[in-house]
Structure 1
Amino acid sequence: MTESGTRRAGRPRKAVLTRERITANALELVSDSGYEHLTMQRLAKSLGVSPSALYNHVDSKHDLMQWIQELVMTDIDTTIFDTEPLTEALVQWATSYRDVFARHIPLIPIIAVLPVSDSPRTLSMYERVAEALKDYGLAENEIIPSIVALESFIFGSAMDTAAPHDIFDTTNHKDLTPHFTQAVAAQRKTQLNTSDDSFQRGLSAMIAGLLSTGSAS
């Protein structure tokens, strides 16, 4: 008791768990070490609680990945579909999508095959892209294949951002690869970021091809 007769406020003995805090810690663990190293025990330790306390908030690792999916999808911009022509909107959306997963590359193999049924934000993103493609004039049976094609390219390009600078080095086999070696040298002279330039080049070609069957915007 203090001199005034009131009890001095102290720190809570147990860490307060919220969905937001659990998800943020789980995302950090996956991004640092990969999905295979994310365990409920390790996550509980990072949160300063027991595994049993953690299970009071999340039922399984699968549910946890759904939470992570929801969190990372909040950073993907779909508002540009309200203000930009479709081609430009798709470029900005895809670039935003790639940038998000370039920061969380270990998530790609999991998120790419994770069902979206319990991820409202992911479904909202797909809905906005599908609506824009339909409004443009793309046939309904072409919308999902187009989204999947773009998404596959986005995920691959996000992983490419982590490729080593010398990935195309041909020093030991120049005699076997004269054309490729010259192409690599020519690219280096441009001083462009290979990953970024390749992404934008490929994205523009993909969008032009996918929209070629739709009506003019």
Structure 2
Amino acid sequence: MARPRTPILSRELIRHTTLRLVDEHGLDALSMRKIATELDVRAPSLYNHYANKDELLDDIAATIAENVDVSGFAGDDWQDALRTWAHSYRDALAEHPNMVPFLASGPSNRPVALVRADAVHGGLTRAGWPPRTATMIGASIKYIVVGSAITSFAGGFIDDIDTYNERYPHLSQAHRLREYAAEIDQDSFELVLETFLSGLTLQYAALDTR
């Protein structure tokens, strides 16, 4: 029997193709018809695997969330657990920046994301943080991570020195920021994360966790 011209359609192949299209063209340009065209199939074929585009994107979001490490919350070092979670969370988002708006919409009904949210909250409350504060800590880490993944501060500057000369005396080196954008953005993320953790450590010392 001759081999088919196109690969056999599967959820994994659809996810992989869709994520590549999102990485290349963004969420706004995505449609089930475009995915089908890329796979060289008719759009109705996709609906045998996914009810709609949102269900497909939810499945992709779950796959990305699997790379977020919350294993540290099973232990006793809540600071290190937060640090590991934040780094792996940012890495997962930074790998697919065009998916960030969808991923940032919250855990919704995605079991993978809810399991991780449960691990974070459970680890913090077991460490002695009040439930409300634990919720705010989780939210704050999300703000830090999503903000750093969705945009580049340094990359927003153009590399034309004439733009900043004379008119903006305190930005005389701003034209160099784009060249070092990745380094500056990474170090800025580390700065805000470590500053946040230092502040939490002071608050924790004032808690009665006996």
Structure 2 residue ranges without an equivalent (≥5)? none
What do residues 146-165 of structure 1 show as CA deviations (whole Å, max 9, x unaligned)? 21221121011113458538
CA deviation vs aligned residue, 1:96-148 (integer Å, no higher than 9, x gap): 1111111111111122115521x111111111111121122211112222212
Whether the 8 Å contact between 1:23 and 1:64 is mirrored in structure 2 is yes
Within a 5 Å distance, the mapping from 1:38-53 to structure 2 comes to: 38-53=30-45
* 1:193 is aligned to 2:183: yes
Contact 2:93–2:149 (CA under 8 A) maintained in structure 1: yes
Name 2:150's counterpart in structure 1. Answer: 159
In 1: Cα distance, 2:170 partner to 2:5 partner = 67
Moved more, 108-117 or 75-84: 75-84
Cα RMSD of the aligned pairs, angstroms, is 3.1
Percent identical pairs in the alignment equals 29
Which one has a bigger Cα radius of gyration?
1
Query: Structure 1: how far apart are the matches of 2:106 and 2:114?
Result: 12
Contact 1:70 1:121 in 2 (8 A): yes
Gaps of 5+ in 1: 1-8
Shift of 1:62: 1.1
Q: 2:112 aligns with which of 88, 108, 121?
A: 121
Deviates more, 1:137-146 or 1:93-102: 137-146
In the TM superposition, what are the counterparts of 1:7-156 in structure 2 within 5 Å?
A: 9-12=1-4, 15-82=7-74, 85-117=77-109, 119-156=110-147
Size of the alignment, in residue pairs?
Answer: 206
Distance 1:116 1:80 in 2: 23
Separation (CA, whole Å) in 1 of partners of 2:122 and 2:48: 39
The answer to whether the Cα contact below 8 Å between 1:78 and 1:93 also exists between their aligned partners in 2 is yes
After superposition, the C-alpha distances for 1:72-99 in whole angstroms (9 at most, x for unaligned) are: 1111122233457221221121111111
Q: Which of the pair has the greater relative contact order for Cα pairs under 8 Å at 6+ separation?
A: 1
TM-score (structure 2 length as normaliser): 0.83
Paired with 2:70 and 2:64, the residues of 1 have a C-alpha distance of 14
Residue pair 1:138, 1:211 contacting (<8 A) in 2 also: no
User: In 2, distance between residues paired with 1:115 and 1:186?
Assistant: 38
Partner Cα distance (1:19, 1:86) in 2: 37
Contact 2:65 2:112 in 1 (8 A): yes
Query: Offset at 1:203?
Result: 0.6
- Alpha-carbon distance change, 176 to 38 in structure 1, aligned in 2, over 3 angstroms: same
For residue 172 of structure 1, report the CA deviation from its aligned partner: 2.6
Write the distance in 2 (CA, Å) between the matches of 1:186 and 1:103.
24
- 1:152 is aligned with what amino acid? Y
